[in-house]
Amino acid sequence: MTLDIVQMVLVTVLTAATPLILAAIGELVAERSGVLNLGTEGMMVLGAAAGFAVATETGSTLAGALGGAGAGLALSGLFAILTVGLAANQVASGLALTILGLGLSGLVGTGYVGMKRDPAPHLHLAGLSDLPLVGDLLFGQDAFVYVAVALVLGVWWFLGRSRAGLVLRAIGDDHTATHALGLPVRKVRVLAVLFGGACAGLAGAYLSLAYTPFWSPGMTAGRGWIALALVVFASWRPLRVAAGALLFGGATVLQLHAQAAGLGLPGQALSALPYVATILALVLLSLGRRQGGSLAPAALGREFTPHR
């Protein structure tokens, strides 16, 4: 195998991982604040439809990306009103959000099925991008990829190093205690959910603007669910989310190559590989649980109503 082919495989792994990283890092922040939003798939697919529509109407990929993120943000706002404001059940609301997102995306995208546009422009730095093996991988990607990397590092710094991140983690651990200390439990949770929504929308926009630059209904194909599993897989750590997403992206790419190479296995079995990896990861994670404390944010999925 030549260096070029290795690099090509690595690039496809990275691009397959990018939507997972974007969606999972947003969901991670929401879950660390104690809110389980199962609507990632819905917010992603709406982001894909809205992103493609806005980009087509304005002719600007940037506007499309913002539109996608905005659509995810709006849908997560609805979720925040329900679960944080009205203390509705988070699991039921999240599932409803996915169904709503899938329906709405069909509506928004009706006029755009079958249209094509150029994929988001890639970075090109003279000299650097032409380096063998790493040139294209490091210096020749589109802006979404760099944003995803920046978000992972930013969230890692925010949660681990900043005071606001500490407050967010504390609220995810025990909303009763933090409320008693006078910390703004609901405000922080709303902001965390909105961040998660915007990230999921952006992940969807990446799919319809860069990964496969067209819109087709249901094009997220379960990536939102993979992102949810990734957060658990990564045991709620940002850097592990990135590593896990690359692993899952790798499994997807491997599956494509294995099919192309004509292995004796049916394509469906290979397509199931990333999902099997998720289940295995969950099992291993449960087996290797550390003693004391809890891995998950302790208040995850629990509704909170302050008395006043």
Partner 1 sequence: MAAVPSPAAGTAPLYGAYGIVKRFGDFKANDGVDLEIRAGEIHALLGENGAGKSTLMKILYGLLEPTEGVVTHKGDIVQLPDPEAARAIGIGMVFQHFSLCENLTVAENIALVMPKTLSGRALAERIAALGAAYGLHLDPARPVWSLSAGERQRIEIVRCLLQDPRLVILDEPTSVLTPGEAEQLFSVLERLRDEGRALLYISHRLDEVRRLCTRATILRHGRVVGACDPQGESARSLAALMVGAQVGAVTGRAGAALGPPRLVLDRLSLPAPGLHGTALADIRLTVRGGEILGVAGVAGNGQAEFFSALSGETAAARAEAVVVDGAAVGRLDINARRRRGAAFVPEERNGHAAAPGMSLSENAVLSRHATAPLARFGLLRRGAARTLAAAVIAAFDVRKAGPDPAAGTLSGGNLQKFVVGREIQAEPGVLVVNQPTWGVDASAAARIRQALIDLAARGAALLVISQDLDELFEIASRIAVLHAGTLSEPVPAGETTREAVGLLMGGSHA
For binding to partner 1 (CB under 8 A), which residues are involved? 163, 166-167, 169-170, 173-174, 176-183, 291-294, 297-298, 307-308
Give 268 or 307: the residue with its C-beta nearer to partner 1. Answer: 307
Shortest reach from residue 233's CB to partner 1, in Å: 19
Contact 238, 155 (CB under 8 A): yes
Q: What is the DSSP string of 167-235?
A: HHHHHHH-HHHHHHTT--HHHHHHHHHHHHHHHHHHHHHHIIIIIS-BB-TTTTTTHHHHHHHHHHHTT
Shortest reach from residue 299's CB to partner 1, in Å: 9
Give 83 or 178: the residue with its C-beta nearer to partner 1. Answer: 178
Shortest reach from residue 129's CB to partner 1, in Å: 41
Helical pair 61-80 and 185-206, crossing angle rounded to 10 deg: 140
Give 109 or 238: the residue with its C-beta nearer to partner 1. Answer: 238
Angstrom distance (rounded) from CA 202 to CA 151: 12
Give 115 or 298: the residue with its C-beta nearer to partner 1. Answer: 298
Angstrom distance (rounded) from CA 58 to CA 55: 5
Shortest reach from residue 34's CB to partner 1, in Å: 11
Q: In the 8-state DSSP scheme, what is residue 39?
A: T
Shortest reach from residue 71's CB to partner 1, in Å: 34
Give 183 or 258: the residue with its C-beta nearer to partner 1. Answer: 183
CB neighbourhood size of 307 (10 A): 4
Handedness of CA 271, 274, 278, 280 (dihedral sign): positive
